[in-house]
């Protein structure tokens, strides 16, 4: 009987999240209608969905706005052969295990489908195809604009990674127009390339992974200098049995903003290049990939290296990273480098504004699938403590309504603040 009553209450709460507790009001002095929701979450990837899960647990009205047409598209639209670097046991969001063998490495499509199923299972209110192009504050509330749509909110959670805008050197436009140029965020497979040599610029994990793939069909140059390499094979038994658990502990509990070593290493993680994880330098050599130096510019429409060598190529794939993509946030909350000024996701200078999903938001794992849930919980707790007419007290023994089972799951025990259910050991 108690479970039935709890189910009805949570089901009703889910319905109230957006419909009854959101208001459509005529903004005074404006010709456009503004939809009021207590909390707006911008971004419907793993960070936004994890935040939504924890807000729903606390009965806080919210709405998730996502630019993609379909939940999971941020993964679905990446290159076809992409696989995660972490095994499935650590690829779950709070409350729902990843549906794959624990020691396998999911594909990007499996991850995309998991996110879609996660939002459906917890009935999270996601509006897809809504690209936010302006965030400001009118002195009373936050104002979120997405084209002709206008939203008002008491709290806003920006749930996305630091870097959203592809970075390409200025001299790229000087290359011969016959050379195919693709940034790694647009690359899908070698079928996009024309016959002839390929130059891949950037020796990070994307560059190394893509180089291994295109080298099977095209002569391949890989330009740049790697920043390091993880010495072990991540598919090895030793890694899966021991090292991955140690790395997760270090990334969660040692390298974070609360420890001296974490604070010291944080700038390096924010602005440096990650070491090679799956592909090793010897793999590149074995694949016949030619390593070359830095691309310094263009000469007669062809890329020229720092040593003055000119490369005759037909394709360029820019694996050169991305720039901060927060130009649409018109609030004084950024430093000179364009990084948000926050304390583990909380912006002290702008009460009610939060970030989740940033690199090293709180710990080295903050931008990863297995680390974002902990940060999401922390932010949801902070929002729940803010005074608001619709605020709910924190309920740590309830899950949002599980659409799959039609009821409330077992009470969970939060372990060490990780938001990990002891009754569901593969949740993170």
Per the model's pLDDT, the better-predicted residue between 245 and 317 turns out to be 317
**Residues 219-232 pLDDT 10s:** 999 999 988 898 88
Residues 143 and 210 in one domain: no
Instruction: Give yes or no for residue 4 having a pLDDT over 70.
Output: no
The fraction of the chain above a pLDDT of 70, given in percent, is 83
87, part of any domain? yes
Residues 136 and 31 in one domain: yes
Q: Which of 128, 118, 107 lies closest to 44 in space, CA to CA? A: 128
341, part of any domain? yes
Residues 111 and 32 in one domain: yes
Considering 299, 322, 345, which residue would you say is the last residue of a domain?
Answer: 322
Residue 257 is predicted with a pLDDT of 87
Q: Structure pTM?
A: 0.83
Residues 314 and 337 in one domain: no
Q: Phi and psi for 244 in degrees, rounded to 5? A: -60, -35
> Residues 108, 422, 54, CA angle at the centre, nearest 5°?
60
Residues 95 and 215 in one domain: no
248, part of any domain? no
Averaged over 187-197, what is the pLDDT? Answer: 97
Residues 182 and 154 in one domain: no
408, part of any domain? no
The fraction of the chain above a pLDDT of 90, given in percent, is 64
How many folded domains does the chain comprise? 2
Residue 340 is predicted with a pLDDT of 92
258, part of any domain? no
Residues 72 and 205 in one domain: no
Residues 195 and 81 in one domain: no
Residues 303 and 333 in one domain: no
Domain that includes residue 152, residue range = 2-162+325-384
**Residues 118-148 pLDDT 10s:** 999 999 999 999 999 999 999 999 999 999 9
Residues 41 and 94 in one domain: yes
Rg (CA), the chain: 23
Per the model's pLDDT, the better-predicted residue between 305 and 235 turns out to be 305
Residues 280 and 304 in one domain: yes
Averaged over 321-327, what is the pLDDT? Answer: 86
394, part of any domain? no
> Residues 368, 370, 375, CA angle at the centre, nearest 5°?
80
> Residues 422, 417, 383, CA angle at the centre, nearest 5°?
120
Residues 344 and 355 in one domain: yes
400, part of any domain? no
| Token pair of 252 as six digits | 């969660």
254, part of any domain? no
Q: Which of 181-190, 308-317, 393-402, 419-428 has the lowest mean pLDDT?
A: 419-428
Q: What is the CATH number of the domain that holds 97?
A: 3.50.50.60
Residue 425 is predicted with a pLDDT of 29
**Residues 33-72 pLDDT 10s:** 889 999 999 999 999 999 999 999 999 999 999 999 999 9
Residue 16 is predicted with a pLDDT of 45
Instruction: Give yes or no for residue 20 having a pLDDT over 50.
Output: no
| Token pair of 200 as six digits | 């891949």
CA gap 173, 28 in Å, rounded: 47
């Amino acid at each position: 009987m108690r479970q039935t009553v709890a189910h009805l209450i949570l089901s009703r709460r889910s319905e109230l999240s957006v419909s009854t507790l959101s208001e459509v009001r005529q903004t005074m002095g404006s010709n456009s209608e503004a939809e009021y929701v207590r909390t707006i979450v911008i971004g419907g990837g793993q960070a936004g969905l994890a935040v939504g899960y924890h807000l729903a647990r606390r009965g806080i009205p919210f709405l998730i706005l996502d630019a993609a047409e379909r939940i999971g598209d941020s993964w679905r639209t990446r290159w076809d052969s992409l696989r995660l670097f972490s095994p499935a046991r650590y690829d779950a969001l709070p409350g729902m295990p990843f549906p794959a063998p624990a020691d396998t490495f999911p594909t990007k499509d499996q991850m995309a489908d998991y996110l879609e199923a996660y939002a459906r299972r917890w009935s999270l209110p996601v509006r897809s195809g809504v690209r936010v192009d302006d965030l400001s504050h009118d002195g009373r509330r936050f104002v979120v604009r997405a084209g002709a749509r206008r939203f008002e909110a008491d709290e806003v959670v920006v749930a996305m990674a630091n870097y959203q805008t592809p970075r390409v050197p200025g001299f790229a436009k000087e290359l011969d127009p016959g050379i195919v140029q693709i940034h790694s965020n647009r690359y899908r497979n070698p079928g996009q390339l024309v016959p002839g040599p390929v130059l891949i610029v950037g020796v990070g994990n994307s560059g190394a992974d893509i180089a291994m793939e295109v080298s099977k069909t095209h002569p391949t140059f890989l330009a740049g200098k790697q920043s390091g390499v993880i010495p072990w094979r991540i598919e090895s038994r030793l890694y899966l049995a021991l090292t991955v658990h140690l790395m997760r502990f270090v990334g969660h509990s040692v390298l974070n903003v609360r420890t001296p070593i974490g604070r010291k290493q944080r700038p390096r993680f924010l602005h440096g290049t990650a070491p090679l994880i799956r592909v090793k330098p010897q793999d590149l050599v074995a694949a016949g990939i030619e390593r070359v130096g830095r691309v310094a510019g263009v000469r007669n429409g062809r890329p020229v290296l720092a040593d003055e060598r000119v490369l005759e190529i037909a394709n360029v794939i820019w694996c050169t990273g991305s720039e901060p993509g927060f130009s649409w946030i018109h609030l004084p909350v950024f430093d000179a480098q364009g990084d948000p000024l926050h304390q583990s996701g909380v912006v002290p200078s702008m009460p009610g504004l939060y970030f989740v999903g940033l690199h090293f938001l709180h710990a080295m794992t903050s931008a990863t699938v297995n680390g974002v849930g902990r940060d999401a919980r922390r932010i949801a707790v902070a929002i729940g403590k803010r005074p608001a007419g619709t605020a709910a007290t924190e309920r740590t023994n309830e899950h949002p309504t599980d659409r799959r089972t039609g009821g409330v799951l077992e009470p969970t025990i939060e372990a060490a603040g990780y938001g990990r259910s002891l009754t569901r050991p593969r949740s993170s």
